């Protein structure tokens, strides 16, 4: 069983676990996949994906374009069938034909879909006619929740993208699901809508429901998620509680006079192995030390002990850094290609300082 205290590192079929738990059982998981495989022709969309989503958390499901996120969501909702591997939903196997498992699952996959000629209220009513029975008052509650009461009788074809998205979230919540699967739920929402959605999802998780969110908005996931799973090329590359992942992936960035860079490297060597200590920009005197962010003072102390005084010291990390580090090397393996970009004006690539969350000096 994997509790919320463990971090799993994927890649090459390895599943190392640190912290509490670590076995491969799935008893307390709201959702688990084991060795999930799916190919489209010769292209592998999922290549032995192992996900462990604890119950009662907001789980951020991340990955570059074409990593297999939407394919995973489709498999989890029975829209497509995996070529191999197993899925457990709410502690029970979910195989082809086990459609009743989905009665306790709400989903918003890709863009929300509705009958354009029907109103929001009518769309929810007709959707409620499928799957698990839904009390009629639930529809009014949800329209109120997503702020569409005033426009509930308008045809959906006249809705903005954000309104459709809100209606899609309402549709996903129709059956008061124990497990909620949301694919890019913030799409089209305005800032206030994003905040409201985030609060709603956190509230749902606090009520014991599990929220599985696929998103490209890393900052949003960082604020919202308790646990994250990062996939690349159809495989899990990292999974665990967000706080633990970020602290493990911490970076302390130090700026010294350029002529003291070598001395600083020598002074910091005992703290970090060679591969964890990198020059970010020698001309500017920036060094990056991959250490827990709580060790910034120690870094400063070592430098001072060597007679080198840092002119800048930033500690911290964010999900974006972690994500890029874990998936940035994927490049061409992404089935949807890669957005190369224009590069920074001075020609450096990602050469800036990490997005520091705190400044120690």
Q: Which residues bind other proteins (CB under 8 A)?
A: 74, 77-81, 99-103, 105-107, 109-111, 113-118, 122, 125-127, 129-133, 171, 174-175
Question: What is the per-residue DSSP string for 189-227?
Answer: --HHHHHHHHHHHHHHHHTT-EEEEE-S-HHHHHHH-SE
Looking at beta carbons only, is 99 or 243 nearer to other proteins? 99
Question: 359 with 313: CB under 8 angstroms?
Answer: yes
- 175 vs 315, beta carbon nearer other proteins: 175
The whole-angstrom separation of Cα 65 and Cα 63 is 7
* Smallest distance from other proteins to CB 99, Å: 5
* CB 158, min distance to other proteins, A: 14
Closest CB to other proteins among residues 41, 347: 41
Q: Which is nearer to other proteins, 172 or 256 (CB)?
A: 172
CB of 141 to other proteins, least distance (A): 18
CB of 132 to other proteins, least distance (A): 7
- Closer of 128 and 224 to other proteins (Cβ): 128
* Integer Cα distance of 317 and 291 in angstroms: 10
> How near is the Cβ of 58 to other proteins at its closest, in Å?
20
For residue 212, what are the contacts with CB-CB under 8 A and spacing of at least 6? 30, 31, 53, 59, 61, 76, 179, 180, 181, 182
Tokens of 194: 């994003």
Between 109 and 254, whose beta carbon lies closer to other proteins? Answer: 109
CB of 44 to other proteins, least distance (A): 15
Ranges assigned E (strand) in 10-162: 16-19, 29-40, 43-54, 58-62, 84-89, 92-93, 105-108
Reference 177, options 147, 214, 216, 205; nearest CA is: 205
């Amino acid at each position: 069983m994997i509790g919320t205290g463990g971090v799993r590192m994927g890649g090459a079929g390895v599943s190392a676990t640190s912290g509490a738990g670590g076995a491969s059982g799935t008893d307390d998981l709201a959702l688990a996949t084991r060795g999930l495989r799916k190919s489209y022709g010769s292209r592998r969309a999922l290549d032995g994906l192992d996900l462990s989503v604890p119950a009662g958390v907001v789980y951020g499901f991340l990955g570059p374009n074409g990593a297999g996120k939407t394919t995973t969501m489709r498999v989890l909702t029975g829209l497509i069938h995996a070529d191999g591997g197993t899925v457990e939903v709410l502690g029970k196997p979910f195989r082809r034909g086990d459609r009743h498992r989905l009665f306790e699952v709400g989903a918003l996959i890709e863009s929300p879909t509705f009958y354009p000629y029907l109103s929001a209220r009518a769309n929810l009513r007709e959707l409620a006619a499928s799957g698990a029975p839904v009390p009629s008052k639930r529809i009014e509650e949800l329209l109120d929740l997503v702020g569409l009461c005033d426009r509930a009788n308008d045809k959906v074809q006249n809705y903005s993208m954000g309104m459709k998205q809100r209606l899609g979230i309402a549709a996903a919540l129709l059956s008061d699901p124990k497990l909620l699967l949301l694919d890019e739920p913030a799409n089209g929402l305005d800032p206030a809508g994003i905040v409201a959605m985030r609060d709603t999802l956190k509230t749902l998780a606090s009520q014991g429901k599990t929220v599985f969110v696929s998103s490209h908005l890393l900052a949003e996931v960082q604020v919202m998620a308790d646990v994250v799973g990062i996939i690349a090329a159809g495989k899990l590359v990292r999974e665990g509680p967000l706080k633990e992942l970020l602290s493990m992936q911490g970076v302390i960035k130090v700026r010294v006079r350029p002529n003291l860079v070598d001395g600083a490297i020598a002074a910091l060597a005992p703290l970090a192995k060679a591969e964890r200590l990198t020059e970010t920009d020698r001309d500017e005197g920036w060094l990056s030390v991959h250490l827990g962010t709580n060790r910034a003072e120690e870094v400063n102390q070592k430098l001072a002990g060597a007679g080198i005084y840092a002119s800048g010291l930033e500690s911290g990390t964010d999900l974006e850094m972690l994500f890029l580090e874990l998936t940035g090397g994927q490049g061409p393996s992404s089935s949807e290609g890669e957005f190369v970009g224009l590069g920074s004006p001075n020609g450096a690539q990602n050469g800036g300082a990490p997005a520091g969350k705190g400044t120690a000096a």
